[in-house]
Amino acid sequence: DIQMTQSPSSLSASVGDRVTITCRASQNITTYLNWYHQKPGKAPKLLIYAASSLQSGVPSRFSGSGSGTDFTLTISSLQPEDFATYYCQQISSIPFTFGPGTKVDIK
Amino acid sequence: QVQLQESGPGLVKPSQTLSLTCTVSGGSISSGRYYWSWIRQPAGKGLEWIGRIFTSGSTNYHPSLRSRVTMSVDTSKNQFSLKLSSVTAADTAVYYCARTIQRIVSSHYYYVMDVWGQGTTVTVSS
């Protein structure tokens, strides 16, 4: 299985802050990477696919980059509705594994 | 707008079989473009992909669960199902169903889970 790691595991930020979350794969996955966020008690929601393509309806303050083994999710200006846990997922090979998550909370 | 809804027993005894159904509304499960997936999440923990099924019946399962998992599709009811046998407390989790679609970017195909059910909690306990 491809192992996914994320850093940091949690962070505290203020509304308006620029936030960056990193995801690393245990082997080369080119751009076969998706990002989701999840609010408490809710299902995950797709934000970014193919490492950098914005899902329809997702605000443009979200962006993704990277290829190979190292990826980044950036929120350019954090909004109140963005406080959630963020997960990366590799879809290069089965099983489609998720990272452990990064919890973004209010400073 | 497509919506998914999980249903099934919230409590299952150890060694028994967990059975869940996901009902698709607002669209046909057999459009031919989608996989239908199951994901689970133990309380306070991360997400685990369980597997997926295509409307043709072809499946892919997580290797660690393959010996215990069976997925099926019922196109007449617009539903797909998950069965997990010989459950233990480690199978206690919120179970989500999700639609998986292929997106094309620069001639490459990417699987994304773009529509999710709200999740259903299954507890394994005697």
Q: What is the pLDDT of residues A80-102, one digit of tens each?
A: 999 999 999 999 999 999 999 99
Other CB atoms within 10 Å distance of the CB of residue B92: 18
Task: With cut-offs at 50, 70 and 90, classify the pLDDT of residue A107.
Answer: confident
- Asked, as a colleague might, if the bond just before A95 is cis with ω within 30 of 0, I would say yes
pLDDT for B105 equals 92
Which residue is associated with the tokens 């995950």? Answer: A44
- What value does the mean pLDDT take over residues A26-55? 97
- Mean pLDDT of all residues belonging to chain B: 96
A99/B96 Cβ within 8 A: no
pLDDT at A29 over 90: yes
Residue A35: count other Cβ atoms within 10 Å of its Cβ.
28
* Residue B90 pLDDT greater than 80, yes or no: yes
CB pairs under 8 A between A and B: 65
Nearest chain A Cα distance for residue B49, angstroms = 6
pLDDT at B32 over 80: no
Quote the minimal CA–CA distance from A32 to chain B in Å.
Answer: 7
Q: Predicted confidence band at B56 (pLDDT cuts at 50, 70, 90)? A: confident
pLDDT at B33: 79
Site from B36, B94, B111 to mutate, A interface, most A CB atoms within 10 angstroms? B111
pLDDT at A88: 98
- The chain B residue lying nearest A55, using CA atoms, is B114
CB contact under 8 A, B114 and A31: no
